[in-house]
Amino acid sequence: MVIAVASGKGGTGKTTVAVNLARVLGDVQFLDCDVEEPNAHLFLKPDLAERIPARVMVPEIIEEKCTYCGKCAEVCAFNAIAVIPPRGGLKGGVLVFPNLCHSCGGCFLLCPEGAIREVPREIGVVETGRAGAIRFAHGRLHVGEAMSPPLIRQVKKHVDRTRTTLVDAPPGTSCPVINSLEGSDYCLLVTEPTPFGLNDLVLAVEVLRVMGIPHGLVINRCDIGDDGVESYAKASGIPVLMRIPFDREIAERYSRGLIAVDGSGEYAEKFRALYEAIRNRYEADRGHQRQRRHG
Amino acid sequence: MKQIVVISGKGGTGKTIFTASLASLAENKVMVDCDVDAANLHLLLSPRVVETHEFRSGATAWINPDTCIACGECAEMCRFEAIRGADDHYVVDPLACEGCGLCARICPVEVVEMRENLCGQWYLSDTAYGPFVHAKLGIARENSGKLVACIRQKAKELAETRRLDYVIIDGPPGIGCPVLASLTDTDLAVIVTEPTLSGIHDARRVMELARHFRIPAGIVINKWDINPERSREIEAFCALEGVSLLGRIPFSKRVAESLIRAVPYVETAGDDVAAAIRAAWDKIDSKPAGEARRPS
């Protein structure tokens, strides 16, 4: 089962929930897909023994073959190529803007002269390793790079269908989140009971509905704020699987990179119960789907 | 006119609460919310929308199921695995399609259409604190970077025609495409961080990003007293990096509770939190224009 942990709003406690779950479960695959700002390693402290460069393919012009016909610039939907035609006695030129390139291969495949080759460009790294029984992988986007989805997809290649996989997703609701959630069996949405938390929760739920991923809530700092999130969950039929009260001691432990369940048997019990609740929901949901198919 | 962007790397460090207070403290400015895929600033500024505009960008492939001959060439060529075979035709997964248009160009029977995306809406609003430009990215839509660029352009034009002193931008979390679009060409990046391992880790990455674009940066340490020792660490490395310390805001449960009142924090309270925000703004406001661009 692939369980994603997402939120819409940042800083609600996604990573906290994901690392605590990983710790109580032990034998899991953990994928930190927040490649812009990966944090889970600060808590799980994996050995990160392997470091794999993450590359995308970008065009390189073979000057001798190029006739400056402009086809590549015309087919590029992302304005990543500009062609300056030869004029007067001046030679033409082709400018490639690799950071705008989406690696679709269009220019390379459609160049009538075969004057483009694809060359790898590093946009980040995937690091993998172990933290006890936990198999860990995350991506780190190089600072200054714009596009995280190709790197997220490379982290997602480490999904292991033979064991439980936990995916720590980035905040927001756009492409990086969708690439992280794709293929998940269940999504935990971590939120806080404030107007900000609610606003972004509603957006995240809409994304999950479009993607058809079953989901439940964890309400963090459940005693600070109002009852907007609870009312919304009730009205929309979204189960609340866990409520975590604000605890200054936990906040201070977090600030030091410590995991709540490591210092407290009570929290360990709660996170084990959370996993059971997800499992039950997931099984029940699959049961419904089977019934619908056969009924 | 100066453009100031508030960013953090890590989400939830208090960017928007801080920025909303700047809306109350700064005079003669336009506010912009560039966290277009999870916008929150409107919740504290109570905007009255004056203009609504559609934001169209990019395209998504659509295969005509009636005329598709199911040759599968498009699916084979698509690098995004966005095309799958159905019974007697192929289908595009709009969530996976990046809109490159390669399938439309290579389809031997020309049955792929590229349909322009409606990616969201942007708004020009009036608030009690002056004009406000904000947006809403459509659900599961892309091109957030272009939407950010679009609303920043509008805000800049507005600031120029109305001769405003500041464009104040609430930025998104992370370091990717919408952050780059929020940061580029600004005069000051205010980095709001918290004294946690993850807060520091992420703040370092945005600092590096600001340096990469040669944007001067200052730091605000939110909830500094959650871990005073870490806060001192942050101050020490900021000094080393040439990032000025703009303020330290203490932790208070009242901050989260104040969100319900839907006004900027400094309007609701005169406590130590509000005082710290005011002090930070005074520092930002007193930065001489000459300091804007650091020599490269």
User: Who has greater pLDDT, B253 or B83?
Assistant: B83
In the predicted model, what is the mean pLDDT of chain A? 94
Q: What residues contact B165, with CB distance under 8 A and at least 6 apart?
A: B1, B2, B26, B27, B28, B29
* Residues of chain A numbered 75-94 and touching chain B (CB < 8 Å): 75, 77-78
**Interface residue A26 vs chain B (CB under 8 A):** no
- Which are the contacts of A234, defined by CB distance < 8 A and separation ≥ 6? none
What CA–CA distance (Å, rounded) separates B74 from B72? 5
Q: What is the CATH number of domain A63-114?
A: 3.30.70.20
Residues contacting A91, CB < 8 A, separation 6+: none
Around A174, how many Cα atoms within 13 Å sit in the side-chain half-sphere?
27
Q: Show Cβ contacts of residue B167 under 8 Å, excluding neighbours closer than 6 positions.
A: B1, B2, B3, B4, B29, B30, B32, B152, B155, B156, B159
Q: Give A146's contacts in chain B (Cβ within 8 Å).
A: 145, 176-177, 180
Provide the 3-class DSSP secondary structure of residue B126. strand
Query: Percent of chain A at pLDDT above 70?
Result: 98
What is the 3 state secondary structure string of A43-55?
HHCCCCCEEEEEE
Domain ranges of chain A: 2-54+128-294, 63-114
At A88-141, the pLDDT tens digits run 888 889 999 998 999 999 999 999 999 999 999 999 999 999 999 999 999 999
> Is there a contact between A110 and B176 if contact means CB atoms under 8 Å apart?
no
Interatomic CA distance for residues B292 and B294, integer angstroms: 6
- Residues of chain A with Cβ-Cβ distance to B105 below 8 Å are 75, 106, 110
Beta carbons of B12 and A224 less than 8 Å apart:
no
The residue among A42, A72, A174 with the most chain B CBs within 10 A of its CB, best to mutate, is A174
pLDDT above 80 for B143: no
Name the class of domain A2-54+128-294.
Answer: alpha beta
Residue B44, amino acid: L
Average pLDDT over residues B18-40: 97
- Grade residue B293 by pLDDT with cuts at 50, 70 and 90: very low
pLDDT over 90 percentage in chain B: 88
Is the pLDDT at A62 greater than 60, yes or no? yes
Contacts of B178 in chain A (CB under 8 A): 174
The secondary element (H helix, E strand) that includes residue B29 is strand B29-33
Could you tell me which CATH number the domain at B59-118 has?
3.30.70.20
Does residue B290 register a pLDDT over 50? Answer: no
pLDDT at A295 over 70: no
Q: Return the CATH superfamily for domain B2-46+128-291.
A: P-loop containing nucleotide triphosphate hydrolases (3.40.50.300)
- Residue A100 at interface with chain B, using a CB cutoff of 8 Å: no
Q: What is the ipTM of this complex?
A: 0.90
Domain residue limits, chain B: 2-46+128-291, 59-118
pLDDT at position A294 is 64
Task: Please state the separation of Cα A146 from the chain's center in Å.
Answer: 15
Report CB contact under 8 Å: B176, A176: yes
pLDDT of A290 over the 80 cut: no
Hey, of A12, A32, A35, A37, which one would you mutate to test binding to chain B, going by the most B CBs within 10 A of its CB?
A37
Q: Is B179 in Cβ contact with A203 (below 8 Å)? A: no
pLDDT above 70 as % of chain B: 97
Contact: A182, B177; criterion CB under 8 Å: no
When pLDDT is averaged across residues A28-40 and rounded to a whole number, the result is 97
Name the pLDDT band for A224 (thresholds 50, 70, 90): confident
Question: Given this model, what pLDDT does residue A283 score?
Answer: 86
For chain B, how far is it from start to end, CA to CA, in angstroms?
21
* List of chain B residues whose C-beta atoms are within 8 Å of the C-beta of residue A148: 174, 176-177
Task: Please give the pLDDT value at position B292.
Answer: 45
Flag whether pLDDT at A288 surpasses 90: no
The answer to whether the CB atoms of A172 and B38 lie below 8 A apart is: yes
Substitution target in B139, B230, B255 with the highest count of A β-carbons within 10 Å is: B139
Per residue in B160-199, pLDDT (tens digit) is: 999 999 999 999 999 999 999 999 999 999 999 999 999 9
Least confident of A76-80, A180-184, A218-222, B254-258: B254-258
Number of H helices and E strands in chain A, helices first, is 11, 11
Beta-bridge partner residues of B188: B4
